[in-house]
Each structure stands twice: as C-alpha cells, then as structure tokens.
Homo-oligomer: A and B are copies of this chain.
C-alpha cells in the first residue's frame, strides 16, 4: 500500500459552503488525511471546526502563516478555502515552500497574480489545482470527449446559462447575509461579483467542453439587487478563436433559480445538451435521428469515454452529485501529487484564463460594450 497523503486546510470553517465540500470530497475516496488547519480568524469558530472534524488541537493554527511555518515538510498539499482576496498570497507562500496547492477559484484578484502563481508552480514543479467543480462531473467529461472525437462536428455556437437566484434570498434592507456578504464587497471579492464568482465556472466550461480558446468577449453588466455596488448579472457575447461563438448568461439575481447551469453546444453535425440540475444525463441531438439520452456509467459508457467512468462509484440510475464531482477532481489532483504526472483536473492555466476573462468582461462593459481580447 502506498503511503497515505496528508493535507492541511486554510479557511473553510464549519458552516461555510465550500470548506466542508473539500473535506468530504477528500474523504469520499479515502485520498488523504486532514492533519492541520487554520479554518477561521474567529478563534471559537476555528476550535469548533477542529473539534467537529476530529483534528488534534496541536495542529490547529490561528492563521495560515503559522500553519505553514509549523507544518511544512509534514503535509503533502494545502487546500485554500479562504475568501478571494487572500488566495494569491497563501498559494504563493505554500508553493514557495514546495507544497502542492488546491486553491479555490478565482485563483487571485488580478491576472498578473494568477500568472505569477502559474509560473511559480512550474518553476517549483508543484501541483496547483483550481477546483472548477463542474468539470468533475462525469457527463461533462463525456461532453468534452464527444466534441474531441468529432462527434458533433465543428463547434459553431454555445449557449450557456449560469443563473442563480441567491441574491434574491438576501434581505437587502438588513446587514448582508453572513455567508454571501463578502461576495458583494469589492475589498474581499475583488472588482467583480457575479462574473468572478460563477461566471468563471461558465467560462471554464466553455473552453473545457469545446477544446477551443476564447478570443474576445463583449459584456453587458448590471447591478439589479438594490444597494449592490458590484455586478450581479451579466450578458456576455463570446468569440472563440476559430469562428465559433458563445452566448453566456451569468446571474446571481435570477429569482427562484437554484443552481441553473445549462449548457447547449451546437456543432454542424450534432448538438449536446446538459443541465447541471440533472447532471447524470447528457442529450445528443442529430438532424435525422432521435435524441439520445446518455446516462452516467451506463454499460455503454466505458467504450465511449474512459474519463467519464474513471473513478465512478455506483451504477447508472443511482445518482452521483456535487460532492462526488468534487471528489473526482481531488482523485485526479491527488494522483498528480503522488505521481508528479499530469492528470485530468483544472489548474494554473485554467486559473489564469478565467482571471483574464473577468478582466476582459469588466473592461468591455466599461467601454460601453466593446469587443475585448482575452
């Protein structure tokens, strides 16, 4: 048996959304042990988190600097689950100490920072992961593979909606909901809200599924939630490099939507439909054939897309969800940590591309809706 991996976590205290997801994902496939943490600057919350997850108090730290100083050499990787404004400095410090890093998106506050992290990881030969979680969903891997195999022909148009209604659930006349507050605060989240928070998932999905690079974007941003200083809605036109186009709707004020992430990829031979809220299925439509609905890990899937069945845990019809998708990303990330080889998960490149997208979208909007290079 191989030596078990050990990891530490910064941020992600009890009660946050994404910290527990990282921990569950790592545990699901028994990938690594969480051996150290600095979960919150709030001492009580920090201690409560350690207690809940059974972490020895001797490895609980009040801040990430202390943690890194104490644990370097003892951990295989660091999971960074803090608000956006500290991603860069924490990831940088860890990489410089030779520690592999899984860092929440967006990777940084600026493109320059993201690029620097990418270069640093390369120079230090470190593994840097950025969990664009939906790319861990098996049927999206299948979509990517179908496109790459030429099954839908030349990609022409992508229509992608990422519509959440989360900001409609906040009573804006009162102090902001604790969990989402920092997402509306330029100091903590950076200059973008909806685009940086969920638009980056959508952008990543565009390039991930099509295998194409985006050339330029044209963005029309809005702040519909009263009192919100950052954009909470975006309509974005996209030009890929070889003539394909996309249409991207991103919203945090799509009243009543839960996590409405819907993808349609139109090629000249066929099209693909995928809906995150029914993510175990993928539809393929051709002009002269009935619609085909493929199902996660159905018996025919292995022959069509090895990546989509790799690591899959349970048979078709018994659904895997968001946590499993996250675990799929960690599976590949931990394999890279162990083997030092490239694996199938998003990393520095994707972190940089999505940051460029955020900057281009903001610039395009500022210019009144001008096509802006990425």
Residues of chain A whose beta carbon lies under 8 Å from any beta carbon of chain B: 1, 4, 17, 20-21, 23-24, 27-30, 51-54, 152-153, 156-157, 159, 161, 163-165, 168-169, 218, 220, 222, 224, 233, 235, 237, 245, 247, 249, 251, 253-260, 264, 266-271, 276-280, 284-295, 298-300, 313-324, 368-371
Nearest Cβ in chain B — how far from A332, in angstroms? 18
Nearest Cβ in chain B — how far from A36, in angstroms? 16
A253 to B264, CA, bound (A): 13
A23 to B285, CA, bound (A): 32
A285 to B257, CA, bound (A): 7
Nearest Cβ in chain B — how far from A176, in angstroms? 15
CB distance B318 to A314 under 8 Å? Answer: no
Select A294's contact among B257, B280, B290, beta carbons within 8 Å.
B290
A28 to B323, CA, bound (A): 9
Residues of B within 8 A of A27 (CB): 27-28, 30
Residues of B within 8 A of A255 (CB): 152-153, 156, 266-271, 285-287
Nearest Cβ in chain B — how far from A153, in angstroms? 8
A287 to B72, CA, bound (A): 45
CB distance A300 to B289 under 8 Å? Answer: yes
CB distance A53 to B24 under 8 Å? Answer: no
A157-B224, A279-B319, A320-B322 known; 4 new pairs, CB 8 Å cut-off, are: A165-B287, A224-B268, A235-B237, A258-B316
The number of times this chain is found in the oligomer is 4
4 closest A-B pairs by beta carbon, nearest first, are A256-B285, A258-B317, A259-B317, A319-B321
Residues of B within 8 A of A284 (CB): 256, 290
Interface centre among A51, A163, A264 (most CB of B within 10 A): A264
Q: Which chain B residue shows the least CB distance to A321? A: B319
A108 to B159, CA, bound (A): 30
CB distance A256 to B270 under 8 Å? Answer: yes
A100 to B152, CA, bound (A): 48
Known contacts A21-B313, A256-B287, A285-B255: A323-B320 contact under CB 8 Å: yes
Residues of B within 8 A of A320 (CB): 321-323
A/B interface sample: 19 pairs, CB < 8 A: A1-B52, A24-B29, A28-B323, A152-B255, A159-B163, A159-B249, A169-B287, A218-B369, A222-B245, A235-B237, A255-B287, A256-B286, A257-B285, A258-B316, A259-B317, A284-B290, A314-B322, A319-B322, A320-B321
CB distance B249 to A220 under 8 Å? Answer: no
Select A324's contact among B169, B295, B323, beta carbons within 8 Å.
B323
Select A322's contact among B267, B271, B298, B318, beta carbons within 8 Å.
B318
